[in-house]
Amino acid sequence: MGNQCIGHLLLAQDHHSDLKRMPAIVVHTAGKSILFGEHAVVYGHPAIAVPIPDLKTTVTIFPLIREENETILYEAPDIGICENLSDLPKDNILVYAVALFKNALDIQKIPSFRLKIRSQIPLASGLGSSASVSVAVVRALSQFLGLKLPISKINEFAFELEKLHHGNPSGIDNTVVSYEKALYFIRGLEPEFLQSPVPMHLLLINSGIPSLTAQVVAAVRQNREKNPDMVNALFKETGDLVSIAKTAFLDGNIVELGNLMVTNHHLLQQLNVSLPELDVLVDIALKNGAYGAKLCGAGRGGNVIALVKEENVHSLRQILESHGIQEIVHTVIQ
């Protein structure tokens, strides 16, 4: 944090009496994982995603009611940012979000506030950190402005924010985070919510290799331009697999889901978005009690997701830790 940040925080403290009177707005959003169909989903094929409520983003808005001039402070201590909005670039998420709201409400000025973002979701790891932040910022701002936006509208605004850094996102990340439900998603259509009759124990295993979604999506696009038949055939096969996985999910057929995850991982390998380090994690999971495992999200780093028998969760975690894996999240989906 720079000196500027300390200055801004002192400024905010001047308004301590305001803070006592005006309650802060606190919003929590989940992370997410793609269970089936990443990359193909960008090109109109279906995918299945699940929320990860064990990983949270928290956005807090502290109203600064004594400020007559519009003063907006943006604080993201996890990445060492504390700035006045007027000093931030146009592609900053809050700058863009404030502009979206002003435009939608047709207003020039909004009340002053300080917005703080904290997130447990590791950056560039395929677990939806940017979508989680986008949805949280939109929800917090809409509450601050006294708007009762339906989830579909929150999702629409969050999608606009996602486009800032992801170039050509499919929209699956912001949708699963907005609704916080497992869903079957086709770009441009309403999501279908999925509920399994049995609990699913998932382990998110972080390879520790950062990966930028926009770069991997761009590499896949280039690959598709060079080898359209091969890449389109992989996407078609992925889409067909996702349709089968949807039925297995609704039936609670865990064994079938596990097998389909492994097949999906092989398709992602052929798409050239896996890495040896991710393949090793998939192998360890499969040899130690997982029904299935695959990379999740853009790939070339980030996380592997494993569907694990409940009684094997603890031992698999220990084995992964003995291989030096430090970040493992256990979540249960139903």
Measured from the CB of residue 4, what is the shortest distance to ligand PMV in angstroms?
Answer: 31
Catalytic one of 78, 106, 173, 283: 173
Measured from the CB of residue 143, what is the shortest distance to ligand PMV in angstroms?
Answer: 26
If 0-12 CB within 10 Å is exposed, 13-18 middle and 19+ buried, where does residue 296 land?
A: buried
* Euclidean distance between CA atoms 146 and 224, whole angstroms: 45
Q: Among positive and negative, which fits the CA dihedral 155, 161, 167, 173?
A: negative
Measured from the CB of residue 273, what is the shortest distance to ligand PMV in angstroms?
Answer: 8
Phi and psi, residue 35, nearest 5°:
-85, -35
Pick the closer one to ligand PMV by CB: 187 or 309.
187
DSSP-derived 3-state class of residue 126: coil
What one-character-per-residue DSSP string does 20-42 give?
HHSPPEEEEEEEEEEEE-TTGGG
Measured from the CB of residue 134, what is the shortest distance to ligand PMV in angstroms?
Answer: 11
Helices (H), the chain: 3-13, 16-21, 93-105, 129-144, 151-166, 172-179, 213-226, 228-251, 254-270, 276-287, 313-322
Q: Under a CB-based contact definition with an 8 Å cutoff, are residues 39 and 242 in contact?
A: no
Pick the closer one to ligand PMV by CB: 39 or 114.
39
Q: Which residue is nearest to ligand PMV (CB)?
A: 297
Measured from the CB of residue 198, what is the shortest distance to ligand PMV in angstroms?
Answer: 26
Phi and psi, residue 193, nearest 5°:
-85, 140
Which tokens belong to 213?
């979604």
Pick the closer one to ligand PMV by CB: 128 or 258.
128
List contacts with ligand PMV (CB under 6 A): 34, 38-39, 41-42, 126, 128, 169-170, 172-173, 213, 217, 297-298
Pick the closer one to ligand PMV by CB: 73 or 305.
305
87 is catalytic: no
Q: β-pairing, 47-63 with 183-185?
A: antiparallel
DSSP-derived 3-state class of residue 121: coil
Pick the closer one to ligand PMV by CB: 34 or 117.
34
Which tokens belong to 5?
């940040």
Q: Which residues, listed in sequence order, are joined to residue 306 by a DSSP beta bridge?
A: 203, 293
Measured from the CB of residue 217, what is the shortest distance to ligand PMV in angstroms?
Answer: 5
Pick the closer one to ligand PMV by CB: 59 or 296.
296
Catalytic residues: 173
